[in-house]
Amino acid sequence: MSEQHREGPSVAQGVARAKSWNFAPPVGDLVTKELMTQQLAEFLGNSENFTIKKIGESCLRRISVPVDDVTDVIWQKLRDEMLKKLLQAGGIGIAAPQVGVNARCCIVDLPPCVGIGDVNVLRFNGRNLLHEKKMLPRLFMLNPQITEKSTQLRGLPEGCLSVPERRAGDVMRPWQVTVEFFDCDGKKNVVIADGYAGRCCQHEIDHLDGILYVDYLQNL
């Protein structure tokens, strides 16, 4: 984005989620673990020459596969290389499909300039960050799942590193979400967030199901 259970959701769950949206986003072929492993090796072997994938490339429209062993050191390597791409691009979130790897992982990295009043991270692993006036730490989320979402919808502007030179307003999303995920240490984490924090989580998790924010827009 610009300015679970250890085994994660099944591919079938990802397909069902993608197809449940009333805007019917185009969803490409399902990714096999063999293909994902090949993608991962290609990216890590030549990451300096990889650019962020842009709309129209098939990896952005595929259902990504769950990570089997979240503690495998290879995911730390992927995290580090994804973070480099994110910082170079000046974004606040990036998902593995955006670097051509269809694995269910993403980064959310909200900067201090997105203030507490705009972000509203209500709880992180039981801690009330809003009360403590602390920002959400940089998160590398493996097998993230949205387990709860509010019925209240709000429209706010969004952009995407994979959809350059376009920023849209009134992208309607649930205002508050609860997200469960694993980190590289195998620890389960829970985030309850609204505002841009909740929106960024939803935006990046959408990438794992082959969904781009422009799919929510009726005029594109």
Taking only the tens place, the pLDDT of each residue in 61-120 is 999 999 999 999 999 999 999 999 999 999 999 999 999 999 999 999 876 544 444 545
Which of 132, 148, 158, 204 does the annotation list as catalytic?
Answer: 204
Domain map (residue ranges) of the chain: 11-216
- CA atoms of 13 and 66, how far apart (whole Å): 11
- The encoded tokens of residue 20 equal 């449940």
Which pLDDT band, with edges at 50, 70 and 90, does 220 fall under? very low
Q: CB of 121 within 8 A of CB of 193?
A: yes
- CA atoms of 64 and 62, how far apart (whole Å): 6
Task: Assign residue 63 a region (left: φ > 0; alpha: ψ between -120 and 50; beta: otherwise).
Answer: beta
CATH number of 11-216: 3.90.45.10
Q: Annotated catalytic, 204?
A: yes
Taking only the tens place, the pLDDT of each residue in 143-195 is 999 999 999 998 888 899 999 877 666 788 999 999 999 999 999 999 888 88
Higher pLDDT, 93 or 18: 93
5-19, 28-42, 93-107, 184-198: least confidently modelled range: 5-19
Give the pLDDT confidence score for residue 216 in this predicted structure.
Answer: 85
Q: Quote the distance between the C-alpha of residue 153 and its chain's center.
A: 19
Evaluated on CA atoms 69, 208, 150, 19, the torsion sign reads negative
Q: Quote the distance between the C-alpha of residue 194 and its chain's center.
A: 15
Residue 13 has pLDDT above 60, yes or no: no
DSSP for the chain? -----TT---HHHHHHHHHHSTT-----PBPPHHHHHHHHHHHHHSGGG-----TT-GGGGSBPBPPS-TT-HHHHHHHHHHHHHHHHHT-SEEEGGGGT--BSEEEE---TTS-HHHH-EEEETTB-HHHHT-PPPPEEEEEEEEEEE-S-EEEEEEEETTEEEEEEEEEEEESEEEEEEE-TTS-EEEEEEEHHHHHHHHHHHHHTTT--GGGG-TT-
- CA atoms of 188 and 62, how far apart (whole Å): 26
- The encoded tokens of residue 122 equal 């209500």
Give the pLDDT confidence score for residue 11 in this predicted structure.
Answer: 40
